[in-house]
Structure 1
């Protein structure tokens, strides 16, 4: 949100410097950046064109004689709106444009010397208008320096969703008042009413969607361009001026923070307003010229025949204020934040009105805002307002009263503020404070919809007192029973391992489309009751679809060598005899994309065994033994005979998300199943043996039905304490070997920490290993 400091000064006469204002608002929770209003050009003077003549051999260039005060200069100009006696901005040689990136020089054009340039608004960075040169009004002095800076410095504020009360200049002024302890000017323009009533019948179908709706009629308005002061205010915060009626409504919106809408009264049929939802789909033309489809979830403002606005989001073209409009109806209402947000999301439309209604507005500001807009329109557009306001408010909102406990507040914040200090802060926040014997009751202002509980008030005390002023605790005392085991310890440990191994952590959307859900499981999945779009219809059943999107994005942007991982929750439905049960599991997803190796000395491609090696490293560090099982060309990870994960390439995934990238690998591991077999043992440090180790190799012919994990376990158990390491270093398949068998070459390392081993005892161990392999697997030693 952007606010103008010049505008703020009209509300509160603060004395803070730009740096103090920026840091002060940020410390209060309104993170912001101060931006000074500085011209993008320099050296521009006001000139008067004295004469215009055609340049020879050109059908569009003119030679202009320009008075710049002390002298006259000749400038070649190609604009079609140059003519004598107009005042224009002149860039003389040495002047700069585009923040100093372009310097004006004397030049010869078609043989004619041009001593500078007559500028357009676009060339000066004032607007996007480049249809002709910029023409000044008569009040500019010839030869004077020109600058577009009007002292309209701005503050760009990054608001959190809960602080809808700050979505206006008034809201920001309230926060500044906390910094300087001064009052705010909230006066509005007065007006005289006519001798007629607002003859409009208003009906609200559901007061939960629209708890309050007020309206007033103004007759005899003159729709025209806004006065300079209003146009400058609207443009100073980055908005476009439309006409005096629309600009007035926008001005009150940005000033007080309450959205309102103006209808052409003569276009409202049957003098009736009905706030309702319509079951049937409606195609409506909005004010921005776009036709949109509303559904049963959209709250509509209707007249006696048709919809005329989408409540809280945007008006419709069929009731808009035009140049020939003379009578208007002003709407000032409170719409349910959830209703507005749902409707805006379905339309994929975010407006200044919807942003504020979504964050909740002040239901008690409706009439004041309506009166302020009425007075402003009467001042700049004339007209006569009705003597009454139709205000439909069936159920008045009750005041929110919260109990405040001083001791609990100090205990939570770690402060030692006394009662007087806290009450002083609460008064600064415009809370009505009632002191009782053992407690304080605080009545919350209607614009602070975010204050609901005692802890919310404690937070207000902290931010006004200053987080930096809260002392740092030097000790902590508490019961060991309050310390709980970190349920995410394993996930954190795995994340640290992968980060140290060159992986980048990725976070993806947990909502998927139906097509993405079917990539891994065609069973019943968890469907969202009110999805924002078809692309976010289901809770994800796998981490992989999000990683596929990330891989595609990186490849499309030229990044060919990277590794990603993500830890997150996945969901599915388990159907029982009578009910359906929802299951949530924590899973680890990993992606390898390694196309970037261009080293001519290392031409080996990244393959499955590189993937397996990095997964093995994870389980080795966790001291967990897993098996790799090839089932229907899918590599599964098994722990205690149960599948806990898989490894896939894009060839294994029926997906059009990522084409022709078979060398991209993905893995997914069920962390919840892994937790059941993980013991967080302390790392043991063992000094290396002072005695030499002995290495022996064996080659065996064995059936393919046996996994290497089974073979390794038998060898390790047989070798005893002297066998330190078993590793497979070769797998051989040949046409001369039985097709159901393959040859494995395995290295065994023996060592002792207390003595040097003898050849005979190693020979005996090797004989024993061979014999056990023969008995268990019917091997043939090669």
Structure 2
């Protein structure tokens, strides 16, 4: 859709610039700038002396007062230029011999079009400069209408979409006289009859209308009423039918279907006057038919789909006009504008009395809860601002105690629910106007880590399983006291499980027996045991099992599947880091299940990982396979204390230290002492622990350093690190690992 930017500026004083389009749903396809300086160009009135035509062109010989010029123009059979017609010629002031341009849309886009501004012969003199009447400094905007916004097809629709309020004041006087139209055909219609009007070829379309139509890519017709109708349609976006009627036809006009089921206007003698949708095409006035009927109808949906759409289906623009719901305010403006233009041209004073007939169709409304607005916005919007936005959006609304009852713009078919209204409000409010607020979170805030661990395992190639919490007492592999079920469903569900390993091994065995060579599974669930006072307690655990056959690695030659104990150890360390705990690994000398390592925290066993012992594999008839497992207690670890700190003002620097320590050194104590070395050390934590080939214990810790009052330099950071090293050497007898 093309239109003049100056047209919007003329209607809306608050319009600033093209940036408003970027905040709307309208996409600008192209902008054609017209920035001809009035001091350089002039628009001269010319008179056509002679016309020569051929198949492709017309040749005009034009008198401009002091010279006769010759201009070749594209032939347009529908546009009739006659000898002695006056037209506008645009040319440069200082070079009258070149660049003669008949004023048309070639000013806009440098190519000939089929539109010429034609002048009233008696009003303008040959050679007169009309540059002040021509709107040269302008932008022609070509926009792309979203597929779900077929309601946007006029200047007023664009103004509303830019969140601007179009002028809606009118002075019409509304009555309720009816035409002979079956109520089953329409929802609402308005009409105006202008009596005793005669317009001949001496009446020319006003320049401002011709110019608006040219810039909207609409051809100028040799008919004043047709041009006014097109102007009204482009401005307001509603279909208007204009009929010329005799005195008897005015009182007896009827709208009905003809023999071919085409909706048409008829007179009392059943003579066809006009077809709906094609009325303006064949409009003409004469001495007998000297009355005009202007009518705008909102037809029912089935009438449009089953009738009108069939014979004008090629013109999607017209169909979309008929599909629009009529806004009564706009309907009043249409008739007032039309009548005022006629009065201006004919120097008459036809009254503004119109008739509007409404079938009282119920419009849909949406309930917008006040609590919902605050919930979606995240802040409390000012009531006056909210009501202003409702008006901008052309919403009719009623304020209730806990909600707003909203009737959206009747043509906004994309607004169907509460969330759609919230979206429109936010678009009008604009992102930049949303206040920045800081939310304060309680320092004793807890966050669940189970989901983080599960996500990590899934991303690492594991599949989660779920197994029964009751197992067969014959497969028990631990020395713990068993918890028996008094009335078990079967022997397979006779005791409560004390580990998740049973379900993992059972699932692995099932898949191994079916030739599966790559298995990584885990389970999170509850296990049961007796406490010291002989009560049954629950323990949250997470366990995993890994089996990858040598045959699988050999056949597929994929290195990433060459999974070993070190890979498992790395995954366990990541899980423990997610839980944010300090830990030690200790060889599982007393573990009846695995050959591997126990996970120790403050001398308490949190879990274990390693290869399942052959004796256990024999118990499950899996003695041919190498299977690794892990199990970690989560009873005290499923919630992590999460401290909220102030936003860092100065950069944080991190330094890693790799040190050799003795086995009897308490790692937690070592880390706590490091934190006390300097006020600028904000945190110290363990990132790795292992033994080298000489079986020396190597610890890697990370130190985070940040200045309180300024950014620390490298020299200052190195001084702090050296202080840490001196303290560790003196207190814990450590050595720096230089490997």
Q: TM-score, normalised by structure 2?
A: 0.45
